[in-house]
Structure formats: structure tokens, C-alpha cells
Amino acid sequence: MSNLKDLKLAGILIDLAAEYINRESNKTSLITVTRVEILNRGKRAIVFFTVLPDSEEEASLEFLKRKRSDLRKFIMEKKPVAFPPSFDFQIDLGEKNRQRIDELLAGG
């Protein structure tokens, strides 16, 4: 993400993806959107997320991948973006590592 337009789009998509996931998830796990990366001049977006408990990561990733087109429709209905990107989802390993470091530093 290099320019202001991409940063603005990422901010909008973070909020809308979080809203959509909160609405559609079955609440057996806590899925948190941590960041969005904009690629290919706004045509593609990767939504990074974390999951609690960790044991639900794979199921959550499968759920989100199944819901990609529904997320795009949800964003088109909200109309903050003229041409929503295609979406992909990834577990935010960087955030998981940061949380583990914090845990270790705190004596856990």
C-alpha cells in the first residue's frame, strides 16, 4: 500500500469487513480484522485477521473464504466504494507473533 487512496480504501474495508464478519459469524470464535492490504491498484484486497481460540483458525479461514463474494456484495450494498476489490483472507501471523512476544515479556 503506497498511496493515500489505497490507505483510505483499506480503512473503509477494515470497518466493513469487521461489520460483515460480526454479522455473519456463528460466534463460536472471535474473529478480529487486523489490517487490509490493497493490491493491483485497488482490484484486490487481502483481509488479515486473528481468531480466538486458536483452535478455530482453520475453520474460520474456510468460513471466510466461502464468504468472499458475499462480502463483496455487502460492500456494494453499502456503496462507500465504487468498485469493490476481490477479496482474499489470511491469518495475520505477524499479529500472532506480536501477541506471543507480549505474553512472554509479561512472564507468561
DSSP lists the bridge partners of residue 31 as 51
> How many domains, the chain?
1
Model pLDDT for residues 70-86, shown as the tens digit of each residue: 999 999 998 877 889 99
CATH of the domain at 89: 3.30.300.20
How many angstroms separate the CA atoms of 77 and 98, rounded? 35
Range of the domain at 84: 4-105
How many angstroms separate the CA atoms of 29 and 52, rounded? 6
Distances (CA, A) of 64 to 8, 59, 88, 104, 106: 23, 9, 8, 30, 32
Q: What is the pLDDT of residue 2?
A: 61
- List all residues 6 or more positions away from 66 whose beta carbon is below 8 Å from its beta carbon: none
Q: Quick check: 16 pLDDT over 50?
A: yes
pTM (predicted TM-score): 0.87
